[in-house]
Amino acid sequence: MLQGLGSMPKVAVIMGSKSDYEHLVDGIKLLRDFGIETTVRVVSAHRTPSLMYEFARSAREEGYEVIIAAAGGAAHLPGMTASMTTLPVIGVPVPSRHLKGIDSLLSIVQMPSGVPVATVAIGNSVNAALLALRILSIRYREVEEKLAQYMKEQEQKVLAQRVE
């Protein structure tokens, strides 16, 4: 267990439909590799608005510290979730069939003033997980240490690359 203020950090990963999961699996794996308790759920802003409302309203009481919300198309899930909680929400735009995720990206990033949603690149759940880990590292020293190690490993991978 990570040593912070006495509890295991918790992140919720929610998505508009099960088909979004394939775009989230790498970020979920990274969070779990860091020892973060990660809950993964389908919570549709359009098809299950009452569930979304209840989830967002109770997320802090349930012990979550960050929410990663993925959605495609109109992509209302991250913004609607952010409008109902004081927790940080990180939006992952899901690639769509017709507009390749540009619609999702614009929907999430263009939130009105007063409803912030951190937004990562289209389909980039790894960056969403890393941003969540950086947020958690403020409170959890072990997360900070693991992040520093991860960054060092990324540096070493680049330095080991040879082009000739």
27-73, pLDDT tens digit by residue?
Answer: 999 999 999 999 999 999 999 999 999 999 999 999 999 999 999 98
Domain count, the chain: 1
Q: Is residue 164 part of a domain?
A: no
Q: Look up the domain containing 153 and give its range.
A: 10-159
Question: 17 in helix, strand or coil?
Answer: coil
What's the average model confidence in pLDDT over 84-96?
97
Cβ–Cβ under 8 Å, residues 94 and 72: yes
List binding-site positions.
17, 20, 47
Distance of alpha carbon 89 from alpha carbon 73, whole angstroms? 18
Q: Is residue 59 part of a domain?
A: yes
Distance of alpha carbon 7 from alpha carbon 159, whole angstroms? 37
Distances in Å between the Cα of 108 and the Cα atoms of 29, 46, 70, 142, 164 are 23, 15, 9, 31, 42
Q: Is residue 29 part of a domain?
A: yes
Domain with 148 in it: what CATH number?
3.40.50.1970
143-156, pLDDT tens digit by residue?
Answer: 999 999 999 999 99
The neighbour count for residue 68, using CB atoms within 10 Å, is: 29
Distance of alpha carbon 121 from alpha carbon 129, whole angstroms? 12
Q: Is residue 134 part of a domain?
A: yes
List binding-site positions for substrate.
17, 20, 47
Q: Is residue 5 part of a domain?
A: no
